[in-house]
Amino acid sequence: MTIYVSFSPIGVFASDGNGRERAFVSFPKEPELAARAMQDCMQPKLSREESEIASKLKEKDVLFEIKKEGYKHEFPNPAGDALRKNMILIAEKQRLFKNRMEFLSFVHAVNFELSKSSMQKEPVNDKLIVHAINALDEIERTTNTLAMRLREWYGQYFPEAGYKLSDNKAFSEYISTTLYRSDVRGAEPHDSLGSDISKEDLEEIRVFAKKILEDFKAREELEKYIEMKSKKVCPNTHAILGGMMSARLLAHAGSLERLAKFPASTIQILGAERAFFRFKHGTGSSPKHGVIFNTRYLQSAPRDKKGKIARILAGKLSIALKLDFYGGEFRGDSLKKSVDSALLSQKSSMRPRPQGHSSFNSAVSNRPTSHSHHSNHSQKPRTSEGSKTSGFRSGTTHRPTNNADTRDNGSAFVKPKQNVRPPAKGRGRSACKKRRK
């Protein structure tokens, strides 16, 4: 006969197939110890209480509710069902608690302990990066606002300095050190458009400037920290994207685990959610890139190849993130190299499109058109040159001449295009614009 075993905060319970009790071993009555005993029971090895119960049973055929080495398991099993249904009755029978309230507060305390320890085990390093990059963005926002105020304020006294020093950090550095017009070399104090301001008023501005300078320094520190931290937490991703962009990706997903479990297509459009949902609602075209857009790969990609590069980059990132999260080896350099080479080949790709590239093209070529005298050629195998000139994305109506074969192919593809909508490249954009107006 099969015996079923399960456990609960009060102890380990064995029953027959109808849930009738066969054996029970209780856990310690201190919530901390009971929680630890439960944790042991959740492991694939038999815990102390479980082996005790196994020794009590004559039967060999024991079935657990969770995975146990050397045993079968089934969820939910009759023992678990009975235990969850009658936990308080079983506890009463064992005289574990004085009353129902005591039982409930025990269950609460054990669960509280268990949750506490699983909270403490939560991975935290990726979260630290997320906080740091968010803090960085916030500092950036506030320093800019404050620096603008500083410019206005100091402009009352010496507006020329503001025009000269366009960099906010250099400007606040200048005020916190030099401050007085008379101390500026080569400047005639009375040439300034600003009015004279008393020393104590100026010193107040200096205090403000020093505070802003401090923020600028904190910002730089944070940048260094993020760079260092992300190299440690996600080395593969760091190799491809650098620290800042890796951190931004992480911030979008919330944690490394979530990000690592995203498909590449999600990584590709992370940060372009609005555009994506607009697309899903049937208005607008699908976005090709989200935060990834701010990488040098996409910045330097040819305009019409950005989507392709984004896809390749996202694919490699997905691999890198999985390596990082599941503790794989370092392959960042080779991943980076493959994105780079893809970019390079796209940049120099005036080469023909691969054969049989687009079923759309052939579908178009088979369309019945008024140019029936071409239709007998449309089934011919396409040469690479022919498909190149018919390229949908090229957007030209350029027709090859000379070679009869290519001309026929070319015209078969090019002609119907005039009946078809404009190339995909510009379509979504203009459609959107119109709708918005």
Please report, as ranges, the residues that interact with other proteins according to CB under 8 A: 6-9, 38, 41-42, 65-66, 75-76, 80-81, 84-85, 87-88, 100-101, 104-105, 107-108, 110-112, 114-116, 118-119, 122, 277, 280-282
Which tokens in the block code for residue 118?
């699983």
Alpha carbons 414 and 408: distance in angstroms, whole number: 10
CB of 142 to other proteins, least distance (A): 24
CB of 153 to other proteins, least distance (A): 37
CB of 285 to other proteins, least distance (A): 15
Nearer to other proteins, 75 or 180 (CB): 75
Query: Helix, strand or coil for residue 15?
Result: strand
The string of DSSP letters for 110-125 reads HHHHHHHHHHHTS--H
Q: CB-based contacts of 290: which residues, under 8 Å, 6+ apart? A: 252, 268, 269, 270, 271, 272, 273
Nearer to other proteins, 37 or 136 (CB): 37
Nearer to other proteins, 74 or 214 (CB): 74
Q: CB-based contacts of 139: which residues, under 8 Å, 6+ apart? A: 215, 218, 219, 222
Contact (CB, 8 A) for 9 and 110: yes
CB of 282 to other proteins, least distance (A): 7
Find tokens 């080395």 and name the residue. Answer: 235
Query: Helix, strand or coil for residue 5?
Result: strand
Nearer to other proteins, 127 or 210 (CB): 127
Nearer to other proteins, 48 or 116 (CB): 116
Nearer to other proteins, 138 or 257 (CB): 257
Cis-peptide into 76, omega within 30 deg: yes
CB of 306 to other proteins, least distance (A): 25
Residue 107 dihedral angles phi and psi, to the nearest 5° = -60, -40
Closest CA to 166 of 153, 147, 182: 147
CB of 235 to other proteins, least distance (A): 24
